[in-house]
Structure 1
């Protein structure tokens, strides 16, 4: 049969296979179910399937989510080989299945390298580093027998109330775009790794606007102007398709300006297919086609919901038993539906052939042991942490601590974990002692609806006494996986109505500060926190967001000056939740008035991050003072390290459109470069300004390039830099 002939084009093979298939077999290629309904390893490590799964696999399946996720990589690879063999042998045409994972801290499965969260790696401002991280993700996932990844998130996240904030790359369109493109290229092995069997396909999500839910509440409505959609929300997704060649796109849970995303043909076909020429598949988010009926209430019946999703352009139904499962019966009543089914099935079959699954559906077991959690991967996790930790504050050069002047260190706070003390001891000199005391937890750690716990005064007193007995206190504060998480559909909460540190954390800071000893705070968290008390009282603050399995070691190395911190904030830190929405690139008119009884501006601006180096910016020069639609300008700035330590700095380029036909952002990040300078060393950093960087959606809702004046800022953050001006001539 021609579809088995790898010498033919994928289009020829798909065209041969599709007509052979029954309508039931076609629809099976449009559905994914979760392995938790009955795929596991028995006591002997052999595949064991429930009757429900056996019934489903008789006619094949598009894919299965997370098979073997709780097994070791080797055991998972063996299980998935058996599972794939069973699937191929038990459907008429031997069509393999896609095994699907996710990646928020590396591959979300047992025994893989645990990296920091996406927003953590965004703080590195190092796209090449992100590419290497996701290359490891792609390789480790493929060695487990996985083929697709419902990651990365291309959403823009600007509301810290939203529990899923850390899954994305921050508030800025340009930074997110660079990170998403490099993540996809990494996980897909620059696309070439797909057919070679070394990497997996990416599914960029959630299209579109999911991170902008009203009130920061999961499943809430999404209201975004069309201009903001085009200029700020769409670009990471467009780049994921055009630049990174993502194999998949996942639709958004929510609606978009009143239209449910899973039933939005203008979005999923008009934008994705017609405008951007996307030829991969679109998958629903969990059960969301069926939810068009029973949750969104835009479909009269479950069958109407299925048809709405199909017409909109969703190719695969994730999990639901009450949506695309109805399609075979619906075709009997309306045969015209089959053309849309064929369209989707072609995309799924095409993906499986791009991945080479018809020729090489199995894992090479011999490669698993050395290919997962390799020394190189583990070193990379530590390297990424060291580049991502942000020094928010360092009064009086409190950091780095001098080892020779200290004998006793106290590590205190709810984010101290089992390995924190050992990590610090590994970088200290002999004769120094470390005491670690968690003291209290933030919540009861219930996975569905965690509750705050009350901290006994005696516990705080004990922690303060421990700090009093030490030369220096390092407090590990912030939030954890229970205080910022996905608010699942049923009986789970993860969003917050406030963004101050929870529980007794501020009280602990005040009490320890009163001792009069150096106070260092290490923040770990999955959402932006308004840390007003910490910012006021702490002598130094390190912000690690959610680090890798080597996070404590990375913190210790930076605390004691083995490495200079070089991370930068991928978000704006507000003083109060009342300032929301609040991001650096808001329109200038948003900044006209402040609030009564609140200091103006952010607590810390986007792009902020201090160093043990001392960087000076000078000699910003433009290659010319005017730009035309067919020319470009070079921007040069000299950066000098006047400090005493070799350090890395993220040089950032911002552009402000002074006058526009529509109100414009106050400034926009348009470039950045991470450099390393030895003490006394200078470097000239060059950026290109092209006409495309100045385009925006004008009055007529079309991209325009308007003549006028522009201000360029090259600096260390969105708030600090040296400037120059040029004019765009038409």
Structure 2
């Protein structure tokens, strides 16, 4: 009774603090529990809390929904385990919950101290498991430029994952995606540091339920790949990464730092790559000095798949498996994902070098703390019935559709061919190699009796082999083009579904799988297909689907209109139909710069100013489409920006305001973008950098004033002395509809 009174008094005391202060106090309470539990653990039990294996080792349900474990799995669970990846991923949400409840119960009852386990998933476009809502991919979400929307999407993911008995996700990706050769480009939020940072904060806070949800309703985010993985040389998975210290600090680190300090991410996953020769999984400066000492990260770190072992046999920075383990452990790597040739060696290594146990204790504390924050010691189970009734419910599906509508980008609209007008057009041809199986059904649903359709895919881009797909042979492409032309002949307008798919842009796994490209032109005669369709003498609109940026020069020149969809949700074609038929107004903006040629790479808008001094012989150096670009069915007029003051002090702030008027005939949304250019610095400076944005809705004729606050912190960069700070001088602030279309005013930092 006395203990209960003390706890109640402590609860009242905690409530008097802010949410952030409450979180810190709660974590300090766990410190006591963690230390007490750690003191009871054997070395083998500690090491077990530093390892994770995949459920494909033998975890399933029988026909009566009873847990079945292989002997291998039972052996792995003798001393408990840090986590298990993807248990129940191929089952329905209800059966996954049934499996994970039984699995958790088995683990708790069969390790000496009853330590629960966290179950882990991935969440690129929804929870990576059967029966969950499938949202659009992150780069498509970034095209919405809507922070609240992104947070809500990830909130749904967090809830659906927890309902099926999962606790963590190896997502989101905070890498800056600037190289379209890279097969994993679509996993990130685009090329810009500020946009990615804001999307990451929204994603992490959403999936974690603003951290409070971690106790029962949401899951923990494991932000990755720390740091800079998308900058790999040649755009190739597993390649080296050469990047200047300034670029690393000013452009690559900020999304990760924000995930830690603003969003309180529960975990961090290290990068496959190195940083200027130092393997990320064995980098104490990265994993301890920067992440923990400078940023104050208190969560746990996890390796990417098998990467501790790869320090020896792939990275070749450790001469023996034992050396790789010591390097990773001392650097600050807490959990070994999958490997049986890395942290599994620790018990024998400690016999020879007892000093290693203090590093083991450090890592185990981080893992146990994570489990306490997730509420696994008090609430380790989920409710199967809730998983069945709530997951992928009507509200979630409708929200996935809503997110699609906010993300589609109108790239071209010659002669206002869009929206497609009833009366002028009756019969529409749906054609092309990325035409979906349900496209015609969705278009009929949206169109009603306004239009009729004929559909012909013609051919596939590849043979559909997941590991190493082959392009469709020329003869088959040409035959497919003929079928498409014949099908489209009697239509009034052609919708060409073109671009790429899950086979032409994907992750290149370590053994025997490829996903990167050395060419970014559309594959399999898609340019030729468009040109043949144009010969029919009727409007051709490209419905552009893809996971990586492509050099769509032919599309841009010859299509009458283009809507850029990236990769939308499971209801993406329904959203595309609404945009095309004018039932919704496009409001997406490009989260990347679109190059004309692969030879322009690197080609992000925020390159140093000196990079724009010279063009190339025989070609146009400008982008095909600039970062931040996107048209609308409305038009917008921007006033000249107005500053509250032309002088900014080191401890002050100023405001810049602009009026935006909808001069069109429909209610529409516009993304107002603010860029800043530092005219002179102690080191060469970017041409411009986005520092703020706001998505607003305007009725026809309506005017709104949008204001942004400018602070010295926004102007800071890593200068000549490698100190990050703002330098006095002149700055241009630019506000407009894209990185290439804006108006500027000047202010001075004193």
Match of 1:356 among 340, 355, 375: 375
Cα deviation, 1:509-556, whole Å, max 9, x if unaligned, reads 000112221110011100000000010000100000010001000000
Q: 8 Å contact 1:269–1:312 — kept in the other structure?
A: yes
Aligned to 1:240: 259
Secondary structure (helix, strand or coil) at the match of 1:544 reads: strand
Match of 1:108 among 123, 128, 133: 128
Structure 2 CA distance for aligned equivalents of residues 141 and 182 of structure 1: 17
Cα deviation, 1:434-460, whole Å, max 9, x if unaligned, reads 111111100111110000112343321
Cα deviation, 1:669-698, whole Å, max 9, x if unaligned, reads 000000011111111111010110000000
> Is 2:445 the counterpart of 1:442?
no
Aligned to 1:559: 580
Could you tell me which runs of 5 or more consecutive residues in structure 2 were left unpaired when the two chains were aligned. 1-5, 11-25
Deviates more, 1:84-93 or 1:458-467: 458-467
Structure 1 CA distance for aligned equivalents of residues 480 and 297 of structure 2: 57
Cα deviation, 1:383-423, whole Å, max 9, x if unaligned, reads 10000000011111111011232221000001111110011
Could you tell me which runs of 5 or more consecutive residues in structure 1 were left unpaired when the two chains were aligned. none
1:357 Cα deviation (Å)? 0.3
> Is 2:314 the counterpart of 1:302?
no
1:81 Cα deviation (Å)? 0.2
Structure 1 CA distance for aligned equivalents of residues 422 and 398 of structure 2: 24
> Is 2:592 the counterpart of 1:571?
yes
1:431 Cα deviation (Å)? 6.1
Counterparts of 1:194-209 in structure 2, within 5 Å, are 194-195=214-215, 197-209=216-228
1:464 Cα deviation (Å)? 1.2
> Is 2:70 the counterpart of 1:71?
no
1:653 Cα deviation (Å)? 0.3
Structure 2 CA distance for aligned equivalents of residues 149 and 156 of structure 1: 20
> Is 2:285 the counterpart of 1:253?
no
> Is 2:518 the counterpart of 1:501?
no
Secondary structure (helix, strand or coil) at the match of 1:109 reads: coil
Secondary structure (helix, strand or coil) at the match of 2:639 reads: strand
Structure 2 CA distance for aligned equivalents of residues 310 and 457 of structure 1: 56
Please give the TM-score of this superposition, normalised by the length of structure 2. Answer: 0.96
Structure 2 CA distance for aligned equivalents of residues 559 and 207 of structure 1: 40
Match of 1:287 among 291, 294, 306: 306
Aligned to 2:721: 700
Aligned to 1:645: 666
Structure 2 CA distance for aligned equivalents of residues 444 and 405 of structure 1: 38
Q: 8 Å contact 1:403–1:428 — kept in the other structure?
A: no
Secondary structure (helix, strand or coil) at the match of 2:641 reads: strand
Structure 2 CA distance for aligned equivalents of residues 309 and 459 of structure 1: 53
Structure 1 CA distance for aligned equivalents of residues 451 and 543 of structure 2: 20
Q: 8 Å contact 2:176–2:230 — kept in the other structure?
A: yes
Match of 1:676 among 679, 692, 697: 697
Aligned to 1:417: 436
Q: 8 Å contact 2:409–2:587 — kept in the other structure?
A: yes
Please give the TM-score of this superposition, normalised by the length of structure 1. Answer: 0.98
Q: 8 Å contact 1:139–1:371 — kept in the other structure?
A: no
Counterparts of 1:32-431 in structure 2, within 5 Å, are 32-195=52-215, 197-430=216-449
1:600 Cα deviation (Å)? 2.1
Structure 2 CA distance for aligned equivalents of residues 167 and 45 of structure 1: 34
Match of 1:664 among 679, 685, 691: 685
Secondary structure (helix, strand or coil) at the match of 2:656 reads: strand
Secondary structure (helix, strand or coil) at the match of 2:308 reads: coil
Paired residue total: 725
Secondary structure (helix, strand or coil) at the match of 1:100 reads: strand
1:371 Cα deviation (Å)? 1.8
Structure 2 CA distance for aligned equivalents of residues 404 and 77 of structure 1: 52
Structure 2 CA distance for aligned equivalents of residues 10 and 493 of structure 1: 44
Deviates more, 1:670-679 or 1:361-370: 361-370
Structure 2 CA distance for aligned equivalents of residues 456 and 111 of structure 1: 35
Q: 8 Å contact 2:456–2:483 — kept in the other structure?
A: no
1:432 Cα deviation (Å)? 2.8
> Is 2:23 the counterpart of 1:23?
no
Cα deviation, 1:40-92, whole Å, max 9, x if unaligned, reads 11122221111000011111000000000000000000000000000000000
Structure 1 CA distance for aligned equivalents of residues 518 and 553 of structure 2: 17
Match of 1:587 among 608, 611, 621: 608
Across the aligned residues of Structure 1 and Structure 2, the Cα RMSD in angstroms comes to 1.2
1:368 Cα deviation (Å)? 1.6
Aligned to 1:464: 485
Q: 8 Å contact 2:306–2:339 — kept in the other structure?
A: yes
Match of 1:483 among 501, 504, 509: 504
Secondary structure (helix, strand or coil) at the match of 1:58 reads: coil
Aligned to 1:515: 536
